[in-house]
Structure 1
Amino acid sequence: MTLRPLRFCWRILYNAVSHYFRDSGSAFASHIALSGLMALFPFLIFATSLASFIGARAYTQQSVNALLKMLPDAIAGPIVKEVVNVMTIQRGGLLTISVIGTAYFASNGVEALRTALNRAYRVVDRRSLFFCRFQSLFFVIVGTIGLMVISFLLVLAPLVINILQHDYPVIGQYVGTIRFWRYAIAVVVLLISLLIAHKWLPAGKRKLADILPGIGVTMVVWVLASMLFAQYLATFANYVSTYAGLASIMVAIIFLYMLSAIFILGGEINAAIMFYRNRQQQPGQLVRAIEQKEEKEEGLKQQNNDGQNDHTVVS
């Protein structure tokens, strides 16, 4: 009985990894990494413009800096510096062509995720181009609003902790640090983002139980990979000798590529589990194809047996 789960896990992992390499998963990981990096600053421009319009600009800057500083120092350092430069520039009104354009270019990162997930889940997206693009723009707007909500929580959580510790000193030993709250909020945001991406971005319909395994693997492997990559950068890596002044940019791209590959593998794992559980979109056709193949093989065997019998009788 103990071998069955191990055999099932091995089949899932083998199916997911083999399909990842067979279907050019590395190329799509590069596409996501580059598109994500290019979409980051248009998204921040749009987010700060919207935040300024409703009077929440300072909170948004604080939350972005707090979230980016959770990355390894070698990656967060150059990105945070440029993000601060982008977010501190004063811009005009919200409803301008430039801001609408930044929202459009920010949605390119969402489209890259959609393309990779469609390949990972082995589905063909027949939805209209306009629907997909408007959905991506909608997710950009929702992400911006979510960023402002996170901003409020990151500012509110430390204040609540200080008030509780001042009025009820006993609670101090049970209340986590501000750093814990930042990580807790980041984990919740990451979980919600992955749920939305796997549930609605690719074509087809999937139940919540179908996408949770890959999301869980993605989150765990992301944390481990980030820790190992940070340790590698601090101990062994010397990108300056290879890429000179572009070292910080290359480190960020390599890190995003690694996270993108893990993200795609999460979708591959979900697809492999659904395949072995016969939860594909057209399971009846799959079963009929297998039955027809077995019937054909049995027919060929029967024909061979009849031919051998006829040859024996003639002899």
Structure 2
Amino acid sequence: MKRARRLFEAIYRLYEHSGFAMAGAVAFSFVVSIFPFCIFLGALSGVFGGRELAQDAINQLFAILPEPVAKGIAPEIEAVMGSRRIDLLTASGFLALFFATSAIETLRAALNGAYRVHEKRPYPLCLLISMLFVFVSAISTLVLTWAVVVGPSVVGPAIASQFESEWVKRLFDSTALGPGVRYGLAGAVIAAQLCALHLWLAAGRRRLADVWPGVLLSIVLWLALAGLWSRYLAITNYSLFYAGLSQLMIALIFFQFTAITILLGAEFNRGVSEMKRMRREAAERAAFQGGSPS
């Protein structure tokens, strides 16, 4: 009951402190940043396994999104990826990394607002941290894609039977089990990334025990949101509202809801921390009054 009360308080605080408006800014920044990120992903993939690995990684990223959202963005990203090649160690590669940090920087400001903390770190350090988040996200995406898509077909015949290699591939391609496995792996990666965002991107110091409730809340809400958003779009026609921009707006609104779940998790964490602090202070006052002479 107390957790539910904290959740409703977090929703109110999110509205009170313009969290929904900040979520819109995060969503816009994400749409702007996703193209430079994919370009940087393609440049980075040249070090590991070529552009085919980058294409597989992008396909895996869109596989966990609701189908209408993926349809609105995937063709445009494929067009950008296929237009030209950018090497990692070039000015263009650095610029792609720089512009890909836009969403991370906006999210940092939003998380600081949710936690009610002021940024005291110098801006170059914050920018470096944001670039590091983009770089680690790209690396983890490529490694996960290699392990899921490329790895079984490459190392399978060397260390296992062909049956085992095909069994792994069928597991991920299965209509019944494939989505569950993909969402399970994606959930683990997203949980690790969210923990990192709460611990190191936002200003201030927090422990893992302080952030995991909000991370869990964000993941549960996001999974529910992805399913509900797909069902809603199946029974409505967004082109009536946005005409030719309907695909873009579908993606933008979904990313705004995603940002709301992340900020709501931060608000929830802050509320739980405040509750623990108040209990601790009350216990200290009670102990002091009980130990003081009458």
Deviation at 1:114, TM superposition (A): 0.6
The alpha-carbon distance between structure 1 residues 105 and 207, as it changes in their structure 2 partners (threshold 3 A), is: same
SS at match of 1:245: helix
Q: Please give the residue correspondences for 1:208-287 in structure 2 after superposition, counting only pairs within 5 Å.
A: 208-235=208-235, 237-278=236-277
Q: Please give the residue correspondences for 1:47-86 in structure 2 after superposition, counting only pairs within 5 Å.
A: 47-86=41-80
Counterpart Cα distance in 2 of 1:139 and 1:77: 26
Counterpart Cα distance in 2 of 1:19 and 1:59: 43
Deviation at 1:57, TM superposition (A): 2.2
Checking the alignment, whether the CA contact within 8 Å between 1:32 and 1:113 is kept in structure 2 is: yes
The alpha-carbon distance between structure 1 residues 244 and 109, as it changes in their structure 2 partners (threshold 3 A), is: same
Q: Please give the residue correspondences for 1:1-315 in structure 2 after superposition, counting only pairs within 5 Å.
A: 6=1, 8-156=2-150, 159=153, 166=163, 176-178=171-173, 179=178, 180-235=180-235, 237-278=236-277
Q: Which residue identity is paired with 1:183? A: Y
Checking the alignment, whether the CA contact within 8 Å between 1:60 and 1:147 is kept in structure 2 is: no
In structure 1, list runs of 5 or more residues that go unmatched: 1-5, 292-315
Summarize deviations over 1:148-174 as a string: whole Å, max 9, x none. 1012112246548895672699xx79x
SS at match of 1:71: coil
Summarize deviations over 1:240-294 as a string: whole Å, max 9, x none. 11111101001111111111111110100000000000189xx87x999x99xxx
Deviation at 1:40, TM superposition (A): 0.4
Which stretch of structure 1 is more off in the superposition, 70-79 or 30-39? 70-79
The alpha-carbon distance between structure 1 residues 71 and 14, as it changes in their structure 2 partners (threshold 3 A), is: closer
The alpha-carbon distance between structure 1 residues 151 and 56, as it changes in their structure 2 partners (threshold 3 A), is: farther
Checking the alignment, whether the CA contact within 8 Å between 2:72 and 2:250 is kept in structure 1 is: no
Counterpart Cα distance in 1 of 2:205 and 2:278: 10
Q: Which residue identity is paired with 1:227? A: G
The alpha-carbon distance between structure 1 residues 126 and 36, as it changes in their structure 2 partners (threshold 3 A), is: same
Counterpart Cα distance in 1 of 2:9 and 2:161: 51
Which stretch of structure 1 is more off in the superposition, 205-214 or 149-158? 149-158
CA RMSD after TM alignment: 2.8
Checking the alignment, whether the CA contact within 8 Å between 1:103 and 1:137 is kept in structure 2 is: yes
Checking the alignment, whether the CA contact within 8 Å between 2:29 and 2:102 is kept in structure 1 is: yes
The alpha-carbon distance between structure 1 residues 205 and 223, as it changes in their structure 2 partners (threshold 3 A), is: same
Counterpart Cα distance in 2 of 1:93 and 1:227: 37
Summarize deviations over 1:114-145 as a string: whole Å, max 9, x none. 11111111111111111100111111111121
Checking the alignment, whether the CA contact within 8 Å between 1:214 and 1:269 is kept in structure 2 is: yes
Q: Which residue identity is paired with 1:254? A: I
Checking the alignment, whether the CA contact within 8 Å between 1:107 and 1:136 is kept in structure 2 is: yes
Which stretch of structure 1 is more off in the superposition, 36-45 or 150-159? 150-159
Q: Which residue identity is paired with 1:204? A: G
Checking the alignment, whether the CA contact within 8 Å between 1:69 and 1:80 is kept in structure 2 is: no
Instruction: From the CA coordinates, give the structure whose radius of gyration is larger.
Output: 1
Deviation at 1:95, TM superposition (A): 2.4
Runs of 4+ in structure 1 over 6 Å off = none
Counterpart Cα distance in 2 of 1:182 and 1:157: 15
Q: Which residue identity is paired with 2:273? A: M
Deviation at 1:55, TM superposition (A): 3.8
TM-score relative to the length of structure 1: 0.80
Checking the alignment, whether the CA contact within 8 Å between 1:63 and 1:154 is kept in structure 2 is: no
Which stretch of structure 1 is more off in the superposition, 61-70 or 160-169? 160-169
Counterpart Cα distance in 1 of 2:283 and 2:11: 24
Checking the alignment, whether the CA contact within 8 Å between 1:154 and 1:182 is kept in structure 2 is: no
Checking the alignment, whether the CA contact within 8 Å between 1:48 and 1:60 is kept in structure 2 is: yes
SS at match of 1:88: helix
Counterpart Cα distance in 2 of 1:183 and 1:65: 14
The alpha-carbon distance between structure 1 residues 56 and 148, as it changes in their structure 2 partners (threshold 3 A), is: farther
- Quick one: percent identity of the two aligned structures? 33
